[in-house]
Structure 1
Amino acid sequence: MSDKSKKVGALSARTWTSILLFGLIGQIAWVVENMYFSRFMQNEITKAPYATTLLVAFSAIFATLATLIGGALSDRTGKRKVFICWGYVVWGFTIAAFSLVPMQPSADKVLPMVILVVAMDCIMSVIGSISNDASYNTWITDVTNTANRARVDTILAVIPLFAMAIVFGGFDSMTNSSATVESWQKFFIIMGVMPTVGGVIGLFLMKDKEGIKPNKSNSFFNDFTYSLKPSTIKQNKMLYVCLSG
């Protein structure tokens, strides 16, 4: 490999640290959302199937819409860092807020608590989708190129396994069937501190790629619906085949 090729594919230590930091913390937060909110609902609010179904369904809907909106906002402002870093800060607070939910409610208060938990999960999913799914993944595309993107994507594909190992290995016992209210509260606070601290560190560590300019050539609605247009799908057939898979 020539020196020129090495230079093209090289990423600074600062960039690698940002990639790993936000990649790992983001996946830890998603482990909490994807697995532990459902356990929390079943163990501490109600075992009724409708509650978990609502939790999963509404979270998925809001996360999808938020990712589309976040992507459009990121492109229109020409900024990634602000959405990522401040998004992670707020993301952590939305996770920690679950420690304040009244647990083991009486029968007449179950439905209000179900609605509260579903609403809080939707808020958490919106913040996470804008900061991680939309902005962080776009930033990855910005700072990588064809010489190094495969290597970065491979590492990012492995990171979720490390995130699961960290959460399961270090904190799962705080949420099992015998877990107390206090242990659940500690769990949510610890899991919430991680994204918040990561976001604060990122404010000093992360950098947007130079030269990115705001793109307001189209309306916000057009940017929001761009990936859903038949013409876009037709022009990128194989991409949508992969996405469908």
Structure 2
Amino acid sequence: MDRLMERLPLTLHGLVLDAGCGEGIDLANQASRDGVEIVGVELSKEGCRISQERTARLRSASVVQGDLCQLPLKDGCFDVVYSYGVLHHLSSPREGLRELVRVLKPGARIAAYLYENFSDRSFFWRWLLRVASSLRRVTTGIPPRLLYRCCQAASPIVYLLFTVPYQLLRRVPGGQQRAAEIPFRHAPGPFSLAADLYDRFSAPVEWRYSRAGALALFREAGLEELAIAKERGWMIVGKKP
């Protein structure tokens, strides 16, 4: 979320909704800001439990169990809504986004991070995405604990294949643009990618978007004054009329 706020016109203030807060990492980070009261909504009981434990000492944070497509919240009550890496895992991202807009105050902003579909990438990256998508047909059927262990084992390999080349290429004159196209470039260490890989290969549903498709999704939800940036996917902000 911090990176999104650096690049797009979004400031957290007042009552904020973290839509799909997972294990509460962003929820806890953003709850430490002055002038913010934040509510995290999460579907899974385990995610809610961990989020509650992580934010137990933060008076400005609370956790609610609920479905993003049927939020147990009143209309127009939030000053800011964000959903980072969740909408593209819903059976209907359009329905989920409309529900988030419903609980947003008029004139307030909503932000989301969406997977890109690599339609503007070279043949190599599109081919790599097809391979990963084919692999997902197998991994989504693996028991969660076993899959997570596989992701832990794969993390240093992915780090070596993607993160290290990024670190080298960005230091080469003129190589920054090519380096920015490399996935998993954000990893701080070889064993830090397990959670990202698990998210990528465990979710039963995955939608991906072109730049035009991401903007269309927000326009169809009735949002205006759209801003979009590419950062390992699409970060997008819109305003409710």
Please confirm whether the aligned pair reaches a TM-score higher than 0.5, indicating the same fold.
Answer: no
Q: Which structure would you say has the larger Rg? A: 1
User: Which of 1 and 2 has higher RCO (CA within 8 Å, sep 6+)?
Assistant: 1
Q: TM-score per shorter chain, which class?
A: under 0.3
TM-score by length of structure 1 reads: 0.27
TM-score by length of structure 2 reads: 0.27
